[in-house]
Amino acid sequence: MSAQNIFSINRKKLFLVLIVLFAVLVFAFPQTTSAASIATTGQSADGFLCSDSWTTPFMSTAITWATNQGVPGPDVLNMRNDIFSFFGAPGGPEGNIKTLSDSSGVLSWNLRQVQGIPGDGQRCQARITAATSFPPPLPPEITIDANGNDPETITEGESVIINWSVANNNSGSCSASGDWFGSKNPTVGSESQGSPSAGPYTYTLECTNSDGSDTKSVNVTVNSAPPELTVTPPSLAFGDVTVLSPSLLDFTVTNTGGGTLSGDVLSAGLTTPEFECLSNCFYGPISVGAPWDVTIRFIPTDTISYSDTAIFSCTSGCSNADQSRDVTGNGVAGPPPTADSFDPPTATIAQGSTVTLTWTSTGADPDGCTIDDSTTGIPYTPLAEDGTLDVQPDSDTTYTLTCSNASGASNALTSVITVNPPPQITDFRATPDTFTAPGSSILDWDSTGATSCLGSGFNTGGATNGFVTVSPSVTTTYMLTCSGPGGPDHVLTVDVTVNEPLNVTLDPGDSSVVEGQSTILSWDGGGATSCTGFGFNTGGATSGNVQVTPVAPASTYRVTCTVPGDSDTAEVIITVKSPAISISVNPRIVIPDRTIVISWTTVDMDSCELLDPGGIGVASGINSSYTTPAITADGTYTLNCTALGELFSATVMVKIFSPRFEEI
């Protein structure tokens, strides 16, 4: 084969290699590049000038080299790197082409070309270096602040100015979001947001160019203006007020600042007992302009003049100090009161019954009335000028009403109550009052004021005191009725509780669970009066449900329930599974059209299914393996396993080996 034919064949091979190399470099170096065309010429020993050109696949950088045309013998161009080799005619001198790559993104080639008949010593040499740079991407970089700060805090009424600058964004765009909006200058800007009301604000700026994007925010907190305490009128004058008679006047508290106002009437003021803050003494929160009425009560105790000072405080950070307001008033005398009515004048009641005494008066002090008890000698006082009083005398009693004010006492009125003592059961009990069948109980009773007592469910023989033994087979209520001349019959009951033998149950809900999973325990005390759990808390309840989380490998739960004289216990054991999956692939990286083996083992699984990359089930079993068909593409195999209804998954990734070819 001639040298020309060899060179032609090698050119075709070189073209194919260059296409592959171009694809590799496009995906390996996707950045924007600059290309340089370097024409190199050389002179051979016999003076011939060699020239030709070749465009490399390296980002279209042009390489020009010299050849010795017109001289007998083959032209030989030798280039070599770790991706491809290109040789001239067999036996021709070797040259080399070498690719370098460093952080600057520079690619260099060195070329040696030999021409002429091998061994004739004539050669034309050229050294060619081509460099391609890959500048890094330059996404935008945002700087943003509010009033020169990030974050910023201001008070209501102050303004907010958002300032921003953006590097690397001359041909980009910017837009606002959050508490502002719209397109913004892509490089630098300043924009007033006015004077916002109290609250938090976030101003976000997003900028984008061909190399990427950036988003930054600045937070602004606007605090409320402080409240201001205003109290009107400047003073209160009660004038003349009858001694021990109340008089009410109001101060009005108003917030004339901002935010909300809270405070109280301080105890340091109104030290004179005749003056008192009666209502709304703790005020707030009061919004701006809203009135709050504080009521002051004046009750003079003597016929003199009184004065004091009310001090109004602010506890919510007011802009001004506490406010003091004067109060004045005079006490004047009035006529003595009169007792107008006192009912009932007379009445007869059974012992233990209640009678309601009702009275009215005129001119009495607010708490100026008294009712005396002739039996106990202890008066009911102080009482209002008009009112009612429930009394329950044990014997005949006379009640006497009198009222008073600063000018003296009223007339006296009486109510005479006659008391007839009724029969009274003083004791009726069962010992014991609860037992587990079979058993018995003793009923014991005593009474006063009774002439006879009758039992329901047992026989008293009419005795007003005594005891009997009863043996009920079920829970029974016994009733005792005692009668006498002093009033209605007196009736009492007593219960004797009969318990069946206990039958305690404990249901685990699930006898097996996955580790970390919960189940519901249910228990029933079967008539018990209390139950105590082991491994869980019953809260004393005799039946119920509780959620528990057993611990591997198993957990024991127990409940013990009791009634007086009996107890019973139930127990369950819940096993705990700890599911696990181990999956492997051999080989992990496979040559195209070869098969692989996927193997797996599991712990505490009920079933497993292997899905191919298309989600189709291809194998099953909790411990198994699967040989795939010929692999043609990267893919992920998924193993789905279940344990007690819960899904567990594991995956393996298969990758296709992509070899690099070298022309030899």
Q: How far apart are CA 21 and CA 108, in angstroms?
A: 15
Mean pLDDT of the chain: 80
CA 475 to chain centre: 51
380-437 pLDDT tens trace: 999 999 999 999 998 899 999 999 987 889 999 999 998 877 899 999 999 998 887 8
The model's confidence at residue 13, banded by pLDDT at 50, 70 and 90, is: very low
535-593 pLDDT tens trace: 999 988 999 999 999 998 999 999 999 887 678 899 999 999 889 999 999 888 888 88
Low-confidence winner among 68-82, 229-243, 255-269 (lowest mean pLDDT)? 68-82
Low-confidence winner among 61-70, 161-170, 261-270 (lowest mean pLDDT)? 61-70
The model's confidence at residue 657, banded by pLDDT at 50, 70 and 90, is: confident
Q: What is the pLDDT of residue 87?
A: 33
- Residue 316, CA atoms < 13 Å, CB-side half-sphere: 22
Tokens representing 450? 């009774």
Tokens representing 419? 């008391």
Q: Is the dihedral of CA 314, 315, 321, 324 positive or negative?
A: positive
The model's confidence at residue 663, banded by pLDDT at 50, 70 and 90, is: low
The top-scoring range by mean pLDDT among 33-37, 617-621, 654-658 is: 617-621
Tokens representing 352? 């233990």
482-509 pLDDT tens trace: 998 777 899 999 999 887 788 899 999 8
Q: What is the pLDDT of residue 139?
A: 94
Higher-confidence residue: 276 or 20?
276
Helix (H, G, I), strand (E, B) or coil at 3: helix
Q: How far apart are CA 138 and CA 452, in angstroms?
A: 111
Hey, what's the torsion of the CAs at 374, 378, 382, 384, to 10 degrees? -30
Q: How far apart are CA 63 and CA 344, in angstroms?
A: 131
Q: Does position 61 have pLDDT exceeding 60, yes or no? A: no
Q: Are 340 and 410 in contact (CB under 8 A)?
A: no
Q: Does position 93 have pLDDT exceeding 60, yes or no? A: no
Helix (H, G, I), strand (E, B) or coil at 13: helix
Q: Residue 599 CB: number of other CB atoms within 10 A?
A: 15
Q: What is the pLDDT of residue 563?
A: 81
Considering the entire predicted model, what is its pTM? 0.30
Q: Does position 462 have pLDDT exceeding 60, yes or no? A: yes
507-536 pLDDT tens trace: 998 889 988 889 999 999 887 889 999 999
Q: What is the pLDDT of residue 524?
A: 92
Q: Is the bond into 553 cis (omega within 30 degrees of 0)? A: yes
Tokens representing 641? 């396993």
Rounded mean pLDDT, 82-89: 33
Rounded mean pLDDT, 56-80: 36
106-159 pLDDT tens trace: 333 333 333 333 343 433 333 334 444 445 789 999 999 999 999 999 988 789
Q: E strands within 75-172? A: 75-80, 85-86, 112-115, 141-146, 152-155, 161-167
CA distances from 295 to 234, 235, 264, 298 (A): 15, 13, 12, 10
Rounded mean pLDDT, 236-248: 92
DSSP single-letter state for residue 314: -
Residue 219 is inside which H or E element, if any? strand 212-223
317-339 pLDDT tens trace: 898 999 999 999 999 887 889 99
Q: Residue 232 region, left (φ>0) first, then alpha (ψ -120 to 50), else beta? A: beta
Q: What is the pLDDT of residue 24?
A: 37
CA distances from 1 to 9, 94, 518 (A): 11, 19, 83
The model's confidence at residue 47, banded by pLDDT at 50, 70 and 90, is: very low
Tokens representing 472? 């009920």
Of 225, 292, 198, nearest in space to 254 by CA: 292
Q: What is the pLDDT of residue 384?
A: 94
Rounded mean pLDDT, 445-466: 93
Q: Are 68 and 92 in contact (CB under 8 A)?
A: no
Start-to-end CA distance of the chain, whole Å, equals 18
- Which stretches within 66-155 are classed as H helix? none
Higher-confidence residue: 252 or 104?
252
DSSP string across 546-605: EEE---SSEEEEEEEEEETTEEEEEEEEEEEE--EEEEEEESSEE-TTB--EEEEEEES-
